[in-house]
Amino acid sequence: MKDRGIRHGDRRRQRDAMVQQQIIQRGVQTPEVIAALRKVPREKFIARALDEFAYDDAPLPIAEQQTISQPYIVAFMLDALQLTGHERVLEIGTGSGYAAALLAELAAEVVTLERYKSLADEARTVLQTLGYNTVEVIQSDGTLGWPERAPYGGIVVAAAAPEVPQALKEQLAIGGRLVIPVGTLDGQSLRCVTRVSEHDYQDEHLTQVRFVPLVGEAGWADLDNTPPGR
């Protein structure tokens, strides 16, 4: 059986090797997170020309000068969310849709927001093709969250924020976790903000990361003024 020139069994082996070397050996332990990474075909979320790099230990370019994150950092963030499988979760920065597919394996419902229409449309198509019908992809400014479907048992932000957007804290369920890179454009602290009660939050530093900017009302200004609605 052919799959873009690379056999299906080879894909399985590449994915298993990726999970073993990049995810398990670096300390990710949650069985559900590991199973999700073993299952979701990352090659479907990238351009054909990058096919051979699908399971590399690196972020890869996607359209609109954005990136699909490094598998390890995605796994690390999913691990930090500590999902039980019953939650509705919110993702900011759909990008390719890869992390949304992983979230769909780990939660009951996924709402994912992307500022570029082209990326949102493309991700929606791929996710539908793969049968991820619990994921809703919406073109919107994620710095404002998506109050219509709040509260969320977990929120994950895949772009670098200057500070934690207030709307996201407010849309978190009590006991829910928000995982978000906060800092400058050169580097960020990955934070885990837990809503412990209606008015109280715990904020923990997890690790140092580097993401593309979160551009929006409660994020960075659009430096090149690219209209996201193309």
Closer CB to ligand SAH, residue 175 or residue 187?
A: 187
Q: Which of 69, 96, 140, 197 is catalytic?
A: 69
Closer CB to ligand SAH, residue 76 or residue 98?
A: 98
Of 59-118, binders to ligand SAH (CB under 6 A) are 66-69, 92-93, 95-96, 98-99, 113-116
**In the numeric block, which tokens belong to residue 174?**
């009590």
CB of 202 to ligand SAH, least distance (A): 24
Q: Does 143 bind ligand SAH (CB under 6 A)?
A: yes
Binding mask 210-229 for ligand SAH (x = CB under 6 A): --x-xxx--x----------
> Is 69 one of the annotated active-site residues of the chain?
yes
Closer CB to ligand SAH, residue 34 or residue 111?
A: 111
Work out which of 111, 119, 135, 182 binds ligand SAH, going by CB under 6 A. 119
Total residues contacting ligand SAH by CB under 6 A comes to: 25
Dist CA 161 CA 94 (whole Å): 15
Q: Which residues bind ligand SAH (CB under 6 A)?
A: 66-69, 92-93, 95-96, 98-99, 113-116, 119, 141-143, 158-159, 212, 214-216, 219
Catalytic residues: 69
